[in-house]
Chains A and B, each alone.
Chain A
């Protein structure tokens, strides 16, 4: 069914297969060290604050069920949200894909006459590559989240959804500020406090003078038309409060049915993401409040592959994601390669199921390889605050990737079919075991041990870094027959 609905565009899938991209990242020792330190710090913090809540599992169950309900009623909830937000003074726009969303936002900025905007960290605007579109239209967008600012200053791409600059350590950040931030104080040290102060001074004038801000939203409440943004630094409050115009780009899946549902998600999200009981600032606004905050409020609802994802009954749970990033913080694959190898704004385990669904799992490049970029260890499912069964979806998407190429020759399929045929019958299976044992016996005799250091393709991928076991001199079933 998903094939009938259009897939998304934007920064969702790069051209290189995951293993090829991963090997490049694995070759960066500083990156590995930075990622190890950061992911371990955050996973321990998360574990501490989660253990504090005796009803954590109940909150997860409620969060998961609320999101399932949202998906089942998405069209009616969107209409309800639109009506409530409009009644409160906001203007609601809709965009089918990345290009249309960029066009809408660019048009809205142009209407204000502004040629610069301040931005609150937002995954949706990165997904649609809004900054590039604004630049092409002669509009300068300044990222105001500290990590986003670091990444933007260095012309880099984010590598994590919560901490986009997780791949840099403090001294690398100091160097970026010194070289690229025009007003960086002389003699900047790599003390985090000093670096944060430099960012504060750099952005302060912009905050106080900007006419237009662009944000995303963590949640959108259908019942009231309310948007919610969680943040830490106060850059969000600056953008959401001081400019005259506020444009928020929101994925259609961000809805919650009612305001009280926030009581679940405001507990789940901060503890899962930054490992805090509560993030420093959460802002909620409903349309326009006269005399308080932006008086020109726009909301752009985007599809961009979400409806195609919703069409898959197993895979649609990926849309439950509240972008906390707990899954990447515990993922052993992410920890080794970082976010860039995933070549999407959504890296890590959630990215491995979200990006291929939004772009189509049979798309060329990274998409068809992402479902295989996991050992299925299950650490992501354990920490997911809305219980997205990521391993289940990964296996489901592997199935789709394999099915998409059925009928085309593949050594793997031939091997899998052959093994399936052999294992499907006890006599064929027993004969094959004996043949494997007999075939390896001369090798074992020559080597005088039961380990081998080099095997031909495809097992050469195994022996590149590990010795391989040879079959035993007698299979278990032969031993059983002989002794019983």
Chain B
């Protein structure tokens, strides 16, 4: 299957390893990956901050970049939720592409029917289901099923997993003190699990969580789950 990768702006600049892992993983599973270079940003930050006029050109740009593909994958629950939930409201012509954009675990489990991707990762991992993947995309246990199938990986439950980490895009800046209080509880819960790695489906949330863990000097690595799945056995 020919699949277009929407890497997302955050990953492009800050976390290219996540994008590389998706490419490696899908190619290992025998699929062809395209990276349409016209892609930029989905516009979520603008739309969610009240700048619709600035978001609309980005939506149109997304449609132009991806409209010719049957399947688009993005390693971000939040960006996919933006495309699926908000695009049709912002630009009615975007409704078609919105249905063909998948978060990585949706593509693997629902479209490609794979849960064991042949990865190996001999560490204790805990998983934080990020809010937009959890409540807008209803990813459910798809990422967990993928992680459980990874050779050597020990998945430990995260208490209060479904509670928001406090990132929330510009919320982290505009309401920094509340965001920090939420982060403190999330970091404490992660540390209590004794996991080596905290994984999630969104590097934006992980930047926030990782920033908090690093400030505390906590010995927990932060990884997008795509990077775990991308590692071969």
Using a CB–CB distance below 8 Å, which chain A residues touch chain B? 18-19, 22-23, 26, 32, 332-333, 336-337, 371-379, 381-382, 395, 398-403, 412-413, 416-417, 419-420, 423-426, 429-430, 433, 436-437, 451, 453, 458-459, 461-472, 474-477, 479-481, 484
Contacts and interface: CB of A to CB of B under 8 A. Distances in A.
Nearest to B58: A423
B120 interface: no
Interface in B7-60: 7, 9, 11-17, 19-20, 35, 37-41, 43, 45-52, 54-55, 57-58
A467 B51 contact: no
Nearest to B130: A377
Interface stretch (B103-111, B143-151, B169-177): B169-177
B161 interface: no
9 contacts: A19-B174, A374-B171, A379-B135, A419-B46, A426-B61, A429-B40, A451-B214, A462-B172, A465-B183
Contact of A398 (B15, B49, B167, B173): B49
A401 B50 contact: yes
B217 to A, nearest CB: 10
A433 B13 contact: yes
B16 A475 contact: yes
Given A336-B178, A417-B54, A475-B16, 6 more contacts: A376-B131, A379-B163, A398-B50, A462-B211, A476-B16, A476-B19
Contacts of A477: 7, 12, 35, 37
Given A466-B208, A471-B13, A398 B48 contact: yes
A374, A376, A425, A461: most-surrounded residue (chain B CB, <10 A): A376
A466 to B, nearest CB: 3
Contacts of B20: 476, 479
Contact of A420 (B14, B54, B132, B176): B54
Contacts of A480: 35, 37
Given A18-B175, A451-B214, A402 B7 contact: no
A461 B58 contact: no
- Give the 8 A-B CB pairs with smallest separation, nearest first: A375-B168, A466-B211, A398-B50, A420-B54, A402-B50, A377-B164, A378-B135, A476-B16
Contacts of B177: 19, 22-23, 26
Contact of A376 (B35, B43, B169): B169
A84 B178 CA distance: 49
Contact of B181 (A26, A372, A416, A453): A26
Interface in B189-213: 207-208, 210-212
A426 to B, nearest CB: 5
B115 interface: no
Interface of B: 7, 9, 11-17, 19-20, 35, 37-41, 43, 45-52, 54-55, 57-58, 61, 131-132, 134-136, 162-164, 166-183, 207-208, 210-212, 214-215
A402, A458, A465, A467: most-surrounded residue (chain B CB, <10 A): A465
A23, A425, A480: most-surrounded residue (chain B CB, <10 A): A480
A466 B183 contact: yes
A437 B13 contact: yes
A476 B212 CA distance: 25
A432 to B, nearest CB: 9
B21 to A, nearest CB: 11
B211 A424 contact: no
Given A417-B54, A423-B9, A467 B48 contact: no
B13 A467 contact: no
B212 A466 contact: yes
Contacts of A474: 16
A426 B38 contact: yes
Contacts of A467: 210-211, 214-215
Nearest to A19: B175
Nearest to B184: A465
A410 to B, nearest CB: 11
Contacts of A412: 49
Contacts of A464: 176, 180
A337, A371, A426: most-surrounded residue (chain B CB, <10 A): A426
Contacts of A469: 14-15, 207, 210-211
Contacts of B167: 375
Nearest to A395: B48
Contact of A466 (B12, B40, B215): B215
A202 B212 CA distance: 50
B16 A461 contact: no
Contacts of A376: 48, 131-132, 168-169, 171
A372 B183 contact: no
A19 B178 contact: yes
A377 B135 contact: yes
Contacts of B169: 375-376
A372 B214 contact: no
Contacts of B212: 465-466
Contacts of A401: 50
Nearest to B165: A375
